[in-house]
Every structure is written in structure tokens, then in C-alpha cells.
Amino acid sequence: MKIAVYPGSFDPITLGHMDIIRRSAKVFDKLVVAVLCNVEKKGLFPIEERVAMISKLVEKYDNIEVVSFQGLLVDFMKTVDAQIIVKGLRVGLDFDYELQMSHMNRKLSDDRVETILMMASTEYSYISSSSVREILHFKGDIRSFVPEEIIQDVLKKSETMEG
Ligand code: COA
């Protein structure tokens, strides 16, 4: 069984991430969406809310699981018996970073883990979570960037956080 992990911060999840999730779930037998719980970086949305939002979006897929993880990605991957990392490539700039991470993760895992890069669909290639956070901060319209099903959750949370 080919189990792939799609790791990220997902703070919050965007239409761009969903594009990669939907397409990867067709390529692999099982996809684990792994939300990084970074103790040094608080983020806008607490981890359990990021997991809940993504879970809501993928509930119709029976081969997608959503979990949070801490520490090294390759160590987490052992716990779910996965050997493939999926990452999305939006623009050329992403490539250099992903190339380095891919080599790092392969070395760290003694050649056990391979990274597969999936080209982001052009209509989402400019979206990032940090731009969504910035739009939220200035009370702009996020509807073109965030999946419709979670817009209310995102708006509600950002309102309470801004006080
Ligand atoms: N659509 C929309 N946005 C995308 C995207 C896509 N297809 N692909 C990437 N992005 C965005 C992300 O949301 C993120 O946006 P932001 O910086 O505005 O928040 C940005 O592009 C960078 O993405 P990525 O490189 O995937 O970073 P990340 O923070 O989401 O995830 C981990 C990084 C979790 C994969 C990585 O830090 C990790 O594996 N950490 C664990 C520790 C470890 O093992 N390190 C490796 C050893 S050195």
C-alpha cells in the first residue's frame, strides 16, 4: 500500500493546499495530511483547530487522514508507515527549497523516504497562508483563497483573536 504524507503548517489551509490534497489522494492509496505542531511558532490558528478544519474538508474521502505531529517529519512518517512525502510546487522559487528539504529528508531517513513534487494548479499558484493571514488582519475578503466550507470558521476565529 502506497501511503503518502502531505506535511505543512496549514495556518490556515487554503484552496491551494486542497488542490494538492485532492489530486494526491487519487495518486496514492492513502494520504496522511500532517499538521506541524511547532512549539516555537504559535501561529494564528491553534493546531487542534487547523486539524478540525482540514478534517471537515476531507471527510468525504475515505483514504485521507488528518493528524498533527511534532519533531522530525521522517520520524513521524515511521509511525504511520509512510515512505513518500508529497509537496506542492507553486512557482520556480519553491523548487530550490523543496530540493534541499528532499535531500535532507532522504539522508535523515537512510534513503527510506522519497519526496514527490506535485505542480500546483495555475489558478492557485500565487496563494499562501501568510497572505491569507494578512488579508484577515486587515479585514479583507478571503473568499477566493480559502475553501468555502470553512470560511465562517476562519472568520469567527480571526475575529475572536483580534479581540
Ligand atoms: N498551496 C498553497 N500554499 C502552499 C502550497 C500550495 N500548494 N504549498 C506551499 N504553500 C505555502 C504554505 O502554506 C506556506 O505558507 P506560509 O509560509 O505563507 O505560511 C509556504 O507555502 C511554505 O510551505 P512549506 O514549505 O510547505 O512550509 P510549511 O510551514 O507549510 O511546512 C514542513 C513545513 C512542516 C513541511 C517542514 O517544516 C517540516 O517538515 N518540519 C518538521 C521538521 C523537519 O523534519 N525538518 C526537516 C529536517 S531539516
Residue pLDDT, tens place only, 115-144: 999 999 999 999 999 999 999 999 999 999
pLDDT reported for residue 147: 97
Is 26 an active-site residue? Answer: no
Name the β-bridge partners of 118. Answer: 88
pLDDT at 39: 82
State the CB neighbour count (10 A cutoff) for residue 86.
23
pTM: 0.95
Cα(117)–Cα(63) distance, integer angstroms: 20
Q: How many domains does the chain have?
A: 1
Instruction: Quote the cell numbers at residue 79.
Output: 509511525
Q: What is the CATH number of the domain that holds 44?
A: 3.40.50.620
Residue ranges of the chain whose pLDDT lies below 70? 161-163
Is 112 an annotated catalytic residue?
Answer: no
| Cell numbers at 49, concatenated | 483547530
Buried b (16+ CB within 10 A) or exposed e, 96-115: eebeeebeebbeebeeebeb
Answer yes or no: is the C-beta of 36 below 6 A from any ligand 1 atom.
yes
Residue nearest to atom 43 of ligand 1 (CA): 72
The count of residues in the chain is 163
Q: DSSP characters for 74-116?
A: HHHHHHTT--EEEEEE-SHHHHHHHHHHHHHHHHHTTT--EEE
- The C-alpha cell at 51 is 486539524
Ligand 1, atom 38, residue with closest C-alpha: 73
Report the pLDDT value the prediction gives residue 27, as an integer from 0 to 100: 97
Any ligand 1 atom below 6 A from CB of 128: yes
pLDDT of the residue at 161: 65
Neighbours of 60 (CB within 10 A): 6
What is the per-residue pLDDT for 94? 93
Domain coverage including residue 19:
3-162
* 41 is an active site residue: yes
